[in-house]
């Protein structure tokens, strides 16, 4: 891929029923990714007779089909299939994914460009250029994310296996990918989405959206949040005209820490921010209507509720009063910063000060950093 030696890539597709979508997925992988991959591991999770017969009728030479004796769930199925691979990278696809172009060279080059990037995903459908341009691009052109979604992803196999893959406690599926993302972040790895690579995703093909689906999602959400309670954070930030790069370092770090812990930021400003650091930061107009909408959101789900309000410089006295009133009414945390606080004073660099070079850090497959 480009002038580099092409890595070995295997594809893993966990399958549970939905034979028509599954066949479409497999056909599209062979057609568009065939030149870049070695083996396609199909993990049939005890599907019905129709799906099993369809899989056994396929004659693609790179296809390896394994029929599980009982339904193990998405996470265990992926783990078992990855364990049969010795490839450098593994591309995991939901069976309701359709590929329309060979995005693998782009994703592989991104993993090469950033050695700390553990996993890179294509976007779900074409990301509008205006939306993509609002985000800071990382080496290789990807957009950082702190919330991993497992519909389609290319991952370093040794990293996946060093973390023991998906946790089987999540059963049939949902939130096992989010849980793996938290563990990757805790080990110092990065995750990303590439806006120039896209797939079509037909959500809900296996489980539908009925009562059993809702109960499964609720159970696994509670399990996930019991492990990572800080992921409940939904911080409303209101400011005057400022940018992320113009914030004091300590405040910018506090904002990033919320997202790194799995929370979300809703930053309201008079005009749109020119650049957002990752997909978990939302930006909108700093108006009364928007504030009230955010305060009212998620009352049927606690994990979507605003948990704290941060007021930065440039907010009018009237709006400050309203925000303080709303936080008291909803029993929320309130933090305020003013322009005259010392941390907002921009220090002048000292030309005599020299920063000594620290030891280079090298990260192993488990995420530990070792100085050379």
Q: Which CATH superfamily is domain 229-344 in?
A: Aldehyde Dehydrogenase; Chain A, domain 1 (3.40.605.10)
Contact of 41 with 121, CB cutoff 8 Å: no
Please compute, for residue 283, the number of CA atoms within 13 A of its CA located in the half-sphere on the CB side: 20
Residue 367 has which token pair?
A: 């995420």
Contact of 38 with 9, CB cutoff 8 Å: yes
345 falls in which pLDDT band (50, 70, 90)? low
Rounded Cα gap, residues 287 and 278, in angstroms: 23
Beta bridge partners of 135: 276
Residue 368 reports pLDDT greater than 90? no
Q: What is the pLDDT of residues 59-92, one digit of tens each?
A: 999 999 999 999 999 999 999 999 999 999 999 9
Contact of 307 with 232, CB cutoff 8 Å: yes
Within the chain, all domains assigned CATH 3.40.605.10 are found at 229-344
Contact of 41 with 25, CB cutoff 8 Å: no
Q: What is the pLDDT of residues 136-177, one digit of tens each?
A: 999 999 999 999 999 999 999 999 999 999 999 999 889 999
**CATH number of this structure's domain 9-227:** 3.90.550.10
């Amino acid at each position: 891929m480009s002038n580099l030696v092409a890595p070995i890539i295997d594809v893993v597709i966990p399958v549970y029923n939905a034979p028509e979508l599954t066949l479409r997925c497999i056909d599209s992988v062979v057609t568009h990714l065939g030149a870049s991959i070695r083996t396609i591991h199909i993990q049939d999770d005890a599907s019905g007779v129709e799906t099993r017969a369809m899989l056994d009728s396929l004659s693609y030479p790179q296809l390896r089909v394994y029929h599980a004796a009982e339904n193990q769930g998405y996470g265990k199925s992926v783990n078992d299939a990855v364990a049969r691979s010795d490839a450098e990278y593994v591309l995991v696809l939901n069976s309701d994914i359709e590929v329309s172009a060979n995005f693998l060279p782009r994703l592989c080059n991104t993993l090469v460009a950033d050695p700390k990037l553990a996993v890179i995903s294509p976007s779900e459908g074409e990301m509008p250029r205006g939306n993509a341009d609002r985000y800071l691009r990382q080496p290789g052109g990807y957009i950082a994310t702190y919330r991993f979604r497992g519909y389609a992803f290319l991952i370093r196999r040794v990293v996946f296996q060093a973390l023991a893959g998906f946790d089987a406690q999540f059963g049939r599926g949902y939130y096992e990918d989010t849980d793996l993302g938290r563990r990757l972040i805790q080990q110092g790895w990065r995750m990303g989405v590439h806006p120039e690579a896209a797939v079509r995703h037909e959500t809900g093909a296996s489980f539908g959206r009925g009562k059993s689906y809702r109960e499964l999602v609720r159970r696994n959400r509670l399990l996930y949040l019991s492990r990572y309670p800080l992921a409940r954070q939904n911080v409303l930030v209101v400011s005057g005209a400022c940018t992320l790069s113009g914030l004091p370092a300590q405040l910018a770090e506090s904002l990033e820490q919320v997202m790194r812990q799995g929370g979300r930021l809703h930053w309201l400003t008079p005009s749109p921010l020119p650049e957002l650091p990752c997909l978990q930061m939302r930006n909108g107009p700093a108006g009364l209507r928007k504030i009230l909408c955010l305060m009212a959101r998620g009352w049927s789900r606690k994990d979507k509720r605003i948990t704290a309000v941060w007021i930065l410089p440039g907010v009018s006295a009237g709006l400050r009063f309203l925000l303080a009133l709303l936080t008291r009414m909803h029993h929320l945390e309130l933090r305020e910063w003013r322009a005259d606080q010392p941390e907002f004073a921009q220090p002048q660099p000292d030309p005599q000060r020299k920063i000594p070079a620290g030891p280079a850090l090298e990260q192993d497959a488990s995420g530990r950093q070792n100085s050379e």
